[in-house]
Structure 1
Amino acid sequence: MSKHHTKRESFAIGSIRVRPGSSKATELPITRLVTGAEISLPIRVVHGKQDGPTVWVNAAIHGDEVVGVEVIREVLASLSPKEFRGTLIAVPIVNVHGFLAGDRYLPDRRDLNRSFPGSARGSLAGRIAHLFLREVVAKCEVGIDLHTAADRRTNLPQVRADLDDPRTRELASAFAPPVMLHSEIRDGSLRHIAGERGARVLLVESGAPLRFDDWAIDPCVAGVRRVLAALDMIDPFEKEPPTPAVECRGSGWVRARRTGILRLDAHLGQQVVRGERLGALYDSFGKTLRAVYADRDGVIIGHTEAPLVNSGDAVVHIASIVGPPPAEPADLVPDLTSDPTNGLLS
């Protein structure tokens, strides 16, 4: 009998069981507020009728990273549990406290993505990390961890992963972001501990905190669905193959060499060469204080959105492209961020 026609067992998570061919939401208790109201980890499970991998997708490990919440909503809306193969655990908001406050961190200022594996009796961050590992990561073989840039920064849609691992590389290529960046693993991160537990993890960066931009959301919705298709959990949905990701190894920030008001002329996805002018710093009367130049060849994968910068502040993030650069001098991504109305007035 084909594996796709084997009768599946119900999927257990927390205190519930999800029947094959169905989707169900649940909440895992975390703690209580001083008011007595319970704070819980929201989860939705899509448990297909047919066998397949078990995968998780999460967002908002940092509470101000709202892009991934919308990505997960749109992905879930596109799935049919009766036609799905395998199981998807969707956790749109991991840092519930930070999300409610619009804050990157937890109330004690801990970074949840530096708190894994955590402990059932540890700090609040440690308890959330422990709960997430026990109820989500331990059940899965692949994870997609959705992020945005930090405060007053923005990121090009990109996958950061261990590209030296063949299976992880396949999944990153399947996501087909504009850029896939080989990235070292940071101690205490979800990617670190999940990898130690045998899961392949794609860390996705896209957009800016506390805002929705279609240019940041749409590539991630398509990317998550492509990974599900590559895992044979859904049927391929695109008639034409996507543009292959540009591989990058290593990256660095260009830093301001004066304090001033920043005007950037460069944009996300732009290919640059060492010494290329990216913008300039001015005083309050418009006098040029210092130009900003690229310190390497590569592609811009992030930049500050803060107009006021101090000497030493990170300004533009450039990743080094492996091999010959793609189509020169075309950019990897159109400058969709240049319209301040986000198309609302068109």
Structure 2
Amino acid sequence: MTRASVKMGGQAVAAGTSKTILLPVPDTSLRQGSVMPVHLFHGRREGPSLFVCAAIHGDELNGIEIIRRLTRLKRLKQLAGTLYAIPIVNVYGFLANTRYLPDRRDLNRFFPGKEGGSLASELASVFFENVVRRCGYGIDLHTASNHRKNLPHIRGDMADAEVLSMAEAFGAPLALDMAPMEGSLRAAAMESGIKVLLFEAGEALRFDEFSIRAGLRGITSVLESLGMLPAGKRSRKRVPLQIATDRAWCRAPASGLFRATARLGQHVRKGEVLGAIHDPFGSRSADLVAPKDGMIIGDQSLGAVYKGDAIMHIASFDAPRQAQASVDEYSEMVMDDRRAR
């Protein structure tokens, strides 16, 4: 029996085909018409529905490239179920090279949105009602905010068995078991029973090849684990997932110019000096000291800092040596992998 077609935006997509649907979103001030492109792949065989989205924050570029590469995979011809790939959710922020919407709102605080509300609410509603509600699963791609960089890691509700299974399948070495922020896509999806992973890697306004490969590798692995894609001819190696037990930001104790001595991905001890903050005239002001044992999973790149600025993000693990080994092994596997390209 032939699988039924799926309809979106007034168009039908037959089983075994794909189509790019242009969802209308509120106009810019030029009133020339704005759209959110959705790449819809409708498999011949029955299976789950999953969305992959990027650029909810308009300056986060890695996810856009991950989805570009995903939609060009020949393997998608073997897809079971339905895949929705949305490279740019916040089209306004993307055009302006900014994280936010034109009214300075953060789109990821307005889900599920509503018609007749603010621009953020309208845009969130278009995405949530037309894409997210159709799916049982989702992967939300992010980078760190401006002037910061994140080590590749997963965020999600690790107490949920299905989310944990997705996280393990994704293959990233580290995960943060985090409750979602109110109004975030993940929070709204959870309330609707949709299982969502958030992948963090890299920095805003920059393409990072390692993060891109890691994201594409992870998404295809999740599709395989859900039965949406057949397993590859070669078994894909995975590292043991390390779930953080705690995390904290290391904040600047003084204003000045910061020079780091610790690096992203490094394991540090409580009280260890991570760098020094000098005043602009050369005298030493203060050391940046680790508040706890853990691994640096995020840092900032600006030289000039103010007292209280979040400089390094440290996550703690029950098995710190295993976490370090997982990160190192994962780095080698991602750069050597050919299957996800």
Deviation at 1:201, TM superposition (A): 0.5
- The residue that corresponds to 1:284 in the other structure is 280
Question: In structure 1, what residue type is equivalent to 2:227?
Answer: D
- Kindly provide the CA deviation profile for residues 70-116 of structure 1, in whole angstroms up to 9, marking residues without a partner as x: 01111111144431111100011000000000011000111100011
- The residue that corresponds to 1:297 in the other structure is 293
User: Cα–Cα, structure 1 residues 101 and 308, in superposed 2: closer, same or farther, change >3 Å?
Assistant: same
SS at match of 1:258: coil
The answer to whether residue 165 in structure 2 is matched with residue 149 in structure 1 is: no
SS at match of 1:326: helix
Distance 1:255 1:331 in 2: 27
Question: In structure 1, what residue type is equivalent to 2:219?
Answer: V
Q: 2:193 aligns with which of 179, 198, 215?
A: 198
- The residue that corresponds to 1:17 in the other structure is 12
The answer to whether residue 296 in structure 2 is matched with residue 309 in structure 1 is: no
User: Cα–Cα, structure 1 residues 331 and 90, in superposed 2: closer, same or farther, change >3 Å?
Assistant: closer
The answer to whether residue 65 in structure 2 is matched with residue 70 in structure 1 is: yes
Distance 1:245 1:176 in 2: 7
Distance 1:222 1:159 in 2: 13
Deviation at 1:240, TM superposition (A): 3.8
Q: 1:117 aligns with which of 112, 117, 121?
A: 112
Using the TM superposition, name which of 7-16 and 200-209 deviates more.
7-16
The answer to whether residue 101 in structure 2 is matched with residue 106 in structure 1 is: yes
- The residue that corresponds to 1:128 in the other structure is 123
Instruction: List gaps (5 residues or longer) in structure 1.
Output: 1-5, 337-346
Q: 2:268 aligns with which of 260, 272, 289?
A: 272
Distance 1:90 1:99 in 2: 17
Using the TM superposition, name which of 233-242 and 215-224 deviates more.
233-242
The 8 Å contact of residues 190 and 196 in structure 2, kept in 1 or not, is answered as yes
Distance 2:219 2:90 in 1: 21
The 8 Å contact of residues 270 and 292 in structure 2, kept in 1 or not, is answered as yes
- Kindly provide the CA deviation profile for residues 25-62 of structure 1, in whole angstroms up to 9, marking residues without a partner as x: 01110122232311111100011111110000000001
The answer to whether residue 47 in structure 2 is matched with residue 52 in structure 1 is: yes
The 8 Å contact of residues 153 and 208 in structure 1, kept in 2 or not, is answered as yes
Using the TM superposition, name which of 18-27 and 232-241 deviates more.
232-241
Deviation at 1:332, TM superposition (A): 2.2
Question: In structure 2, what residue type is equivalent to 1:181?
Answer: L
- The residue that corresponds to 2:172 in the other structure is 177
Question: In structure 2, what residue type is equivalent to 1:41?
Answer: M
The answer to whether residue 44 in structure 2 is matched with residue 31 in structure 1 is: no
The 8 Å contact of residues 26 and 123 in structure 2, kept in 1 or not, is answered as no
Distance 1:100 1:194 in 2: 26
Identity, in percent, stands at 42
- The residue that corresponds to 1:340 in the other structure is none
SS at match of 1:43: strand
Question: In structure 2, what residue type is equivalent to 1:107?
Answer: P
Length-normalised TM-score, structure 2: 0.93
The 8 Å contact of residues 55 and 89 in structure 1, kept in 2 or not, is answered as yes
Distance 1:93 1:20 in 2: 25
User: Cα–Cα, structure 1 residues 32 and 294, in superposed 2: closer, same or farther, change >3 Å?
Assistant: same
The 8 Å contact of residues 175 and 244 in structure 2, kept in 1 or not, is answered as yes
The 8 Å contact of residues 10 and 20 in structure 1, kept in 2 or not, is answered as yes
- The residue that corresponds to 1:162 in the other structure is 157
The 8 Å contact of residues 251 and 307 in structure 2, kept in 1 or not, is answered as yes
User: Cα–Cα, structure 1 residues 8 and 144, in superposed 2: closer, same or farther, change >3 Å?
Assistant: same
- The residue that corresponds to 1:223 in the other structure is 218
Question: In structure 1, what residue type is equivalent to 2:2?
Answer: K
The 8 Å contact of residues 173 and 323 in structure 2, kept in 1 or not, is answered as no
- Kindly provide the CA deviation profile for residues 191-225 of structure 1, in whole angstroms up to 9, marking residues without a partner as x: 00111111000011110000001122111110111
RMSD after superposition: 1.8
SS at match of 1:332: helix
Length-normalised TM-score, structure 1: 0.91
Deviation at 1:176, TM superposition (A): 1.3
- The residue that corresponds to 2:245 in the other structure is 249
Deviation at 1:328, TM superposition (A): 8.2
SS at match of 2:92: helix
Deviation at 1:278, TM superposition (A): 1.1
The 8 Å contact of residues 271 and 330 in structure 1, kept in 2 or not, is answered as no
Q: How many residues align?
A: 330
- The residue that corresponds to 1:208 in the other structure is 203
Question: In structure 2, what residue type is equivalent to 1:50?
Answer: R
Using the TM superposition, name which of 307-316 and 71-80 deviates more.
71-80
